[in-house]
Structures are given as C-alpha cells and as structure tokens.
Chains A and B, each alone.
Chain A
Amino acid sequence: MLNRNQILETVEMVEKEHLDIRTVTMGISILSCTRETAEKTAAAVYDCVMKRAEKLVPTAQALSLEYGIPIVNKRVSVTPVSLVCAAFPEESGLVGRALDRVAKELGIDFLGGYSALIHKGTADYEAKFLQTIPAVLAETERLCASVNVGSSRSGINMDAVGEMGRIVKETAALTAERGGIGCCKLVVFCNAVEDNPFMAGAFHGVGEADTVVNVGVSGPGVVQHALKFVPGADLTDAAEVIKRTAFKITRAGQLIAKEAASRLGARFGIVDLSLAPTPARGDSVAHILEELGLETVGCHGTTAALALLNDAVKKGGVMASSRVGGLSGAFIPVSEDIGMIESAERGMIGLDKLEAMTCVCSVGLDMIAIPGDTPASTISAIIADEAAIGMVNNKTTAVRVIPVPGKKVGDEVQFGGLLGRAPVMPVHPGDASKFIGRGGLIPAPIHSFKN
C-alpha cells in the first residue's frame, strides 16, 4: 500500500522540481511511401504520417491529465528521408515540407528524420540529398535533420565530415535573420541510434517496426533536489541517491510509454534514460554537478562528476524499464541549460572542456553558438574530433553547433523556448582545412573487429 510520504514526494517532484516526461515520440516507417515522382511520394508520406500520428497529441494530453504528469513535447520520427527520396534526391525538399505541414496540422512539436546515414560512404543520391538540407531547414519550422557520418564499425566518412561543415554554414546563412536557428535543427552524428526520441537527432531506423512509441524522461531538478538532502555524503552514497531517483523518474516514463503505445495501437519501443535540461531554473544538469561540490560547471572535476552522474542515471534507469535505448545519459546542451549558460557567460566553460565531457556522457557538443565567421573547415574539424571520440569509445556522439551570422565571441544569441539562449564561444583559430580537405575514410579502430 502506498504511504502518504511517497505520494507527497511524487506530487512535489512534479510541482516543484520539474519532473516531466520530456517527449513521447512516435516512430513511423515511411519506406513504403516511395512513388514514381517526388510529388506523389510527398503526398503519400503526408497521408501516412497524418493517419498514424493523428491521435498522438490528444492521447498525450489525456495521459498527462490522467496521470497528473506533464508531457512537454509530442514528436514524430520517420525513416531517413534520403532513403525514401533516393530516386529523386534533388526534390527531397517536397517530402520535408510535407512532413512540416503534418507537424503543424497535428500540433506536433518537432518531427525528425530529414536524415541520411552515410557513415561508410556517400552514395550519389545522398550527396544530392545533403544539398537540400539548408533550404529545407530555412523554409520549415518543426522539421529536424540529422546526418550520421561515422560509426565504430565503419570508421569516419571524412568526405561527409567536410561536406557537413559547409552545410552547417549554409544553413546558418539561410536563417541569418533568426540567429542561424536552422542549425538548431541539424545534428551530425557518429554512431547514431535508430530509436532516439530526442531532437534534433531522432529518426526511425530501418530495423524498427512500422510504428513504435519511444519516450524520453527528464528530471534534472529532481536529482538535484535529492542530492540537497545529503550534502555531506561521500560520492558512493551520492551515486546511490542518484540511482534511486533515476529509478523513480524512469518508472514514470515506462508507465507512460506502455500506456501511450497501447492507446495508439503502436509497439512500445524504448525509454530513453536521459536527463534532459531546459533553460528554466531548477531544471539544470549543470546544477547537479555543482550540487556534487563543483564551484561552477567547467572547473576541473567536472568530467569526473559527470561520469558519476551519467553512470548512476543508467544504473537506476535500467532497473526501472523493460527496454531502454535511445541516447540514455545526461545531456549537456549549452543553450538549453541555465547552469551551462551562466558558466559560459562568465567564461568558465569552453569548447575544450565540453569536448572532454562528451567522452563520459551522452551526447556531444550540443547547442553551442560559435562565431559567425568560423570557417567551414573548422566546423568540420570539430565534427571530426567529436566523431573520433564516439568511434573509439563505442558511443554516440554528435555536434550541433550554430555559427551565428554576424556575431562574435562575447555576443549572445536568443533562440527562445526550449532552445534557450547562448553566449558565443571561441573556437581555436588554427587552420585544419588541409586535414579536412584530404577526405577519405578514417579507418575503424582495431577493437571494432569483434566477429
């Protein structure tokens, strides 16, 4: 039987500590929508996603009311569009715009899957698809794009890495009047996962069933609050507190995921055990690290504290869910975390420390504003470094940087909503263009040969 304190604890988590379900994401296969022309394909994709996701928003709203827990975002991910449009890649934008229309009409917050998987090589149709990304992201609001440029099995496709530096720059240029916001909807991966419910990197993998429901939980505020009660605990005990808290948070996610899947006539996919911050105070991953004893996130010790947090979240979460997946770890997006924003504004955290942090957590260099005049080859080099970390360590890494047009170090850019605001951070001035210009494939590490 439930006791009063347990019940009040849950109510307090929701009311005061920002416990929420960050996203219910419906993954939809649109592979069967390919027709003989781009127009007909776009129409088929529109009909397919409209039909299957029709009840997503009302169902999530009903669940939120019944269980008394906010569901912040309702999202959809689809099969990588590059595959569906392989026969007419230059016209892929038609499908992208159709998907954006679906999202707007159904009240879906973000729709992911304007994606290409080119981790071993870039097919001709994929090269043409990549060129459509900047314009499509500039013309759409809710569509998200992602490109996988490397994997632990295949190595890093450096031709794709070189190209993505240019694509990121062009995307920023085409959305210059809005601070380069197009880049907030574009992520470059190494070891991309097929069941990620989080944006901008969600797509519905080809190994997935027709329609699945994946859920991403949240709750950095809950973890920080729990740690406040054990100020003198050693780190073993602190890890235990985080584990227990992660268990509770994840159980809420598992419950909503199973119920949502059943009501939507879809398969329950996975629960993503991520701690996802928002720009709201009291909902920050950085503040958890500071609660563990760091003066400010970014100081020495940050990587160790993050490693502890990430591991404890996984251990608590794995026990709480029958199937886990996605990215599962603590997120450290700079513009979306008030602790990160404030540390960056004071110059206490930079790209180098953030890169080190990505070695021990999900997912990568995320939502980082850099000077608008950063060369494309430098962005490619940032992507290459991050992909190398992912490839060698068998983990997902990603880069979502925004070269903000017209802005320089010390300026600030506002994206609004969950995307937050970010101070423009310096990048290293040295030139990597010759390295990036070589192209080719960085071979997979020796430990990838496991067969």
Chain B
Amino acid sequence: MRAVVTVAGTDRKGVIAEVSAFLAAKNVNILDVSQTILGGRFAMVMIVDISEASETLALLAEHASALGKEIGMDIRLQHADLFDAMHTV
C-alpha cells in the first residue's frame, strides 16, 4: 500500500534526514522523493510504501503529524488513493 508524505515549512538544514529517519524507524520504504523551495518555503513530497510498516496507516499519520509539530514543519502522511482519485480520470 502506498502513502504520500508532504512536508512544508521554513527551510532549514536536516529536514529530509529527520523525516527519512522517522520513516526508516517505522519500516516504511521511500519510493519517490521530490523537494523544492517554493517562495522561500521548504516543500517536499514523498511517495512511500507502507506494506511492511510497523504500525497502521492511521497511527503513522498521527505520528507523522506529531513529528511535524516537534520539528516545526507541517507533515502529513495520507493514503495515496486520495490523490490518484482526485487527479486521474
């Protein structure tokens, strides 16, 4: 099962490392990463595989959001089907 991780906030060093470490600790595999600076703000989108994750999608989503608060970024982890549904016919 795939999920989408989006990370947004003020750019600083180490954000990718922190998010990747969180995902690795949960046994989540990163499939695709795209990161840019939009108007001075850090914006990253990851497609991840959570088939072998150590916890459920709902828990992962909660923990990702909590990590975001901890490191001062907005982090969302969502089922990829939502994006597929909205953007493909």
* A residues whose Cβ falls under 8 Å from a Cβ of B: 1-2, 4, 6-11, 15, 62, 65-69, 248, 251-252, 254-255, 319
Cβ B62 vs Cβ A2 within 8 A: no
Q: Contact check, B76 vs A67: say whether CB atoms are below 8 A apart.
A: no
Count how many chain B residues have C-beta atoms less than 8 Å from C-beta atoms of the other chain.
27
Beta-carbon contact of A4 and B82 below 8 Å:
no
> A251 contacts which chain B residues (CB < 8 A)?
85-86
Check B58 against A66 for contact (C-beta < 8 Å). yes
- Shortest Cβ distance from residue A253 to the other chain B in the assembled complex, whole angstroms: 9
> Do B87 and A65 have beta carbons less than 8 Å apart?
no
Smallest CB separation, B82 vs chain A (Å): 5
Which B residues are within 8 Å of any A CB, using their own CB? 4, 6, 8, 32, 34, 36, 43, 45, 47, 57-58, 61-62, 74, 76-87, 89
Q: In the bound complex, do residue A66 and residue B45 qualify as a contact, i.e. CB atoms below 8 Å apart? A: no
Judging by beta carbons under 8 Å apart, are A69 and B87 in contact? Answer: no
CB–CB B85/A255 < 8 A: yes
Which of A7, A9, A67 is within 8 Å of B81, CB to CB? Answer: A67
The CA-CA distance from A67 to B83 in the complex, in Å, is 9
Contact A4/B36 with A67-B82, A252-B86 known, Cβ cut-off 8 Å = yes
Instruction: Say which residue of B4, B36, B79 sits within 8 Å of A7 (CB atoms).
Output: B4
Say whether A255 contacts B82, CB under 8 Å: yes
**A7 x B6 contact (CB < 8 A):** yes
Give the shortest distance, in Å, between B57 (CB) and chain A (any CB): 5
User: What separation, in Å, do the CA atoms of A65 and B77 have in the docked complex?
Assistant: 9
Report whether A6 and B85 are in contact in the complex, using a CB–CB cutoff of 8 Å.
no
Q: How far is the CA of A8 from the CA of B74 in the complex (A)?
A: 12
**8 A-B contact pairs sorted by A residue (CB < 8 Å):** A4-B36, A7-B6, A8-B6, A62-B58, A67-B81, A68-B78, A69-B78, A255-B81
Candidates A2, A8, A11, A248; contact of B80 at CB < 8 Å: A2
Residue of B nearest to A2 (CB): B83
Q: Select B61's contact among A66, A248, A255, beta carbons within 8 Å.
A: A66
- The interface residues of chain A lying within 8 Å CB-to-CB of B74 are 15
A248 in contact with B86 (CB, 8 Å)? yes
- List the B side residues contacting A6 at CB < 8 Å: 83, 86-87
> Which of B34, B58, B76, B87 is close to A248, meaning CB atoms less than 8 Å apart?
B87
Minimum C-beta distance from B89 to chain A (A): 8
